[in-house]
Amino acid sequence: MTIRHAGDADKEAVRRLWDAWQAETVDLPPWADASWEANEPEIDRAIAANGLFLAEEDGEAAGFVTSWLEDHVARIGDLFVAERARRGGAGRALIEAVIENLRARGATHLLLGANLNSLTFYERLGFREESRNLVLDLDVPEAGTGRSWGSIHVQTDDLAGVERAVRQFVPRLPGRSRGSLVAPPRNGWIAVYDEVCDRDPAMLRRLATELSDRLGAVVLALGVEHDVVVRFVLLEAGRVVDEYLSLPEHYGHLPPGDVIALAANPRVVARLTGADPATVRAVARTATSPRELPPPGELLAAIADAVGLEGGAHGWEDAPELEGAVSVERL
């Protein structure tokens, strides 16, 4: 086992370790965002501070620790050791490398946050408990009172790949999803339905982004929000290429340019989905009042039909039984 400083060239290895860490984490607090995108700035900060260390075993990355120095006080961010390298001293070696490095740079104290399961490990290294973090669950009001539902459609026939990604990413979403459903390929698309994505439209968009980025695929997320508005987001390799909101100013006043931007772009939709642009233009209309549009459920179904999606008009709760579908249940 060797311990060394890590730099920008090692970020891909650190990301693989990060993904392995999150894949085995089952008790993530509902308020925590453990996505790589949310935590990459801290990795960059550690690199810039010359405080990212990598453990390697037989030339393969086996663990990492992030740290940085603020005046005379040093901090540790994250520490992770892959399962294959545990109980071999890698965690201790990483911490000792941080201590030696920061002490040489003038640090007088080293602080870190630890979950309850790791307290014994740190106490054996000489750390002492100084304070505790307390958490209170609060009921946060939703942006609307009506029902929301939606679905995610991945342009691929790789059912196993989509299932793996869903099993990896959904547990990271705040809200504790009760279950997901991955439908078999239909017309070149695999549909994904999830309970927390029905409850929170923001989670539907977030999961769609994660799937598109991980699979490098065209992904369309569409749904009804609070029984009032219809939204779809079209992504390519994790990047939003088009977004539609039936009532662009439903959530508040917008500059004219932003209102226009929330109208569907039929050419982009046609290029990535094969839909007829004239049909998309006729169906995906925007308005200033719900009275000017069909009921949200009907509008959603019409948009799904225009794009050629099966199963685009319902969410997780009312998903029908489908032969070959994969159900992922969670407690």
Q: How far apart are CA 63 and CA 13, in angstroms?
A: 9
CA distances from residue 210 to 154, 218, 283, 284 in whole angstroms, order as listed? 11, 12, 28, 25
Residue 141: what pLDDT? Answer: 43
**Strand ranges, E, within 130-283:** 149-154, 179-182, 190-194, 218-225, 229-236, 239-245
pTM, rounded to two decimals: 0.59
285: left (phi over 0), alpha (psi -120 to 50) or beta: beta
Order of strands across the sheet that contains 149-154 = 239-245, 229-236, 218-225, 149-154, 190-194, 179-182, 326-329
Q: Which residues of the chain have pLDDT under 70?
A: 137-144, 331
Residue 116: what pLDDT? Answer: 84
Write the CB contacts of 48 (distance below 8 Å, at least 6 apart in sequence): none
Other beta carbons within 10 Å of 8: 11
For residue 189, give the DSSP letter: B
Residue 238, token pair as written in the block: 């994790």
Residue 102: what pLDDT? Answer: 93
Residue 184, token pair as written in the block: 């078999």
186 forms beta bridges with: 189
Render pLDDT for 81-99 as a digit per residue (tens, 0 to 9): 999 999 889 999 999 999 9
Q: How far apart are CA 126 and CA 122, in angstroms?
A: 7
Residue 19: what pLDDT? Answer: 92
Render pLDDT for 21-34 as a digit per residue (tens, 0 to 9): 988 887 777 778 88
Residue 121: what pLDDT? Answer: 93
